[in-house]
Structure formats: C-alpha cells, structure tokens
Amino acid sequence: MFDARLSVNRRFFLLITLLPLLLSGCSQKFQNVSDTFRLAVRGDDDTVKSSAWIEQLPYASMYARIGDGPQAFMVLALAEPAAVLTPADSEATAPAMQLKWLAADKGMLVTEQGRLVKTLNLPLGNLVQVTAETPDPVALGLQLPSTPTTWTRRIDWQPGYHYGYQLTSHFEDKGLVTITINNIAQHARYFVEKVNVPSLDLQFDNAFWIEPASGEVLKSRQLIAPGLPEVETQLLKAYGQ
C-alpha cells in the first residue's frame, strides 16, 4: 500500500516484530492471529477481493487508497476502547472502539466511528492525534436531526512540529446516492465536511457516505492533514459483523 518495493520477507519480518503489540489488548476474536499477518503480507497493488471471499473471512476488512496510489486491502489488527470523547462514553452505551487497520507493509490507519484519527508508517507523513471537547458528528450519526452540523477539533501531524492546529467543520447533507463497493451497489447518504484551518488560511473538504439508517461510514475521503494526501476508505466487512 505504501511502498510496493518492500520484499515479502521484509514485510513478514516487520509484521512479526509487531506481534507482542497485536497480541495485547486485541478485542476482535481472531481464530488465529497469524492468519492476519498472512493476509496482510499477501496484499498486492490494486487489490480486489471477491465478495464471497470477504464474507468467509472472520476479520473486519476494508480497501484504502492514499492519494493517487494503489488500492490496498487492509485487515483489522486491533480494536480497543476509544480514548477521545464520543457519545458512547455515556453509561447507557458500550464504549466506542478505536480500530487499527493493518496493510501489507506495516502501514496502519486508525479510525473511530469511521473518522481517521491517527496514521502510522505512511511515507509522506502521519496524523499523530485528534482531540476535541465535543463529540464528532460523524460518531453521533450524521443522519440524525439532532446531530450538530458544526464541530471543532485540534490535530497534530508530522513531519515537522505541527501541534494543536484548530480545525472547524461544517457538515452539508447532499442527500441519498448510490455507491458501489466491491461491485455491490448500495444506497448511502452523502455528506461533505467543509473544514477550515484559520491559522493557515486553508480550507478543504472531507466526504462521508453513510448507511442511511445506522449512520455507519461505508466510504470516506479524508485529508490526513494539511499538506498531506487524502485517504479514501471503503468498508468491506464491519467490525463485529
């Protein structure tokens, strides 16, 4: 996904070095953790998996593309309680989960309720942290009338010393659309997140295609951070499915 020149042997070595981390705190019940490594190591450029093959897997999975790069198949390596403020922090609901998706060359995307909150081992730079004092509207459910249409957060990213940059967002409902994921057409509500970075005099758009009833993010395009590329994700098999 991130550097196709890595040899299979080196990918395997890098993934094996992560074994102690992956074995600790993983809430997804893998039948065999080593299978996850083999799935990641086999990842190819522009990977496409059949729907039947994906359904038979006991692992959550998604496609991801960084900028104009190849499409990669990613599997869920870790699922842990989220540290940021979300609506699931209340006693009435289960804790929100932070999902860590692993690619063939040890690149990792970390999401919470479909929101990209951290990246690791990407070649051009990484999102280090997202913090907010109020819940993310994406986590609340963009489809709900009660969900706020504005949000403020702060992000840190690398390379460089980019810490505490404030981002303000406004969400626009573009209505129902039909999207195709892995050759399967499905209905989604399309939302555009207009993001402003006042200190940089910069604006950009993120996009979310959500399941109309549940609000689950089916597809997204999110900028990693100012000056870094977009990440497009397509959910193939949801966590817990």
167 DSSP β-pair partners? 153
Record the pTM.
0.81
Closest CA to 109 of 147, 48, 66, 67: 66
Q: Which residue has the tokens 């989220």?
A: 82
Are 177 and 193 in contact by the 8 Å Cβ rule? The answer is no
**Percent of the chain topping pLDDT 90:** 64
Question: What is the C-alpha to C-alpha distance for residues 6 and 105, in angstroms, rounded to an integer?
Answer: 7
Position 73 pLDDT exceeds 50: yes
What mean pLDDT do residues 115-131 have? 96
In this structure, what token pair is assigned to residue 189? 């509500």
How confident is the model at residue 24, as a pLDDT?
Answer: 42
Are 96 and 90 in contact by the 8 Å Cβ rule? The answer is no
Strand pairing class (97-102; 72-81): antiparallel
pLDDT in tens, 201-218: 999 999 999 999 999 999
CATH, range 8-237: 2.40.360.10
- Residue 78's pLDDT band (boundaries 50, 70, 90)? very high
How confident is the model at residue 191, as a pLDDT?
Answer: 98
In this structure, what token pair is assigned to residue 89? 């922090």
How confident is the model at residue 10, as a pLDDT?
Answer: 41
Tell me the pLDDT of the chain averaged across its residues.
83
How confident is the model at residue 160, as a pLDDT?
Answer: 92
How confident is the model at residue 23, as a pLDDT?
Answer: 40
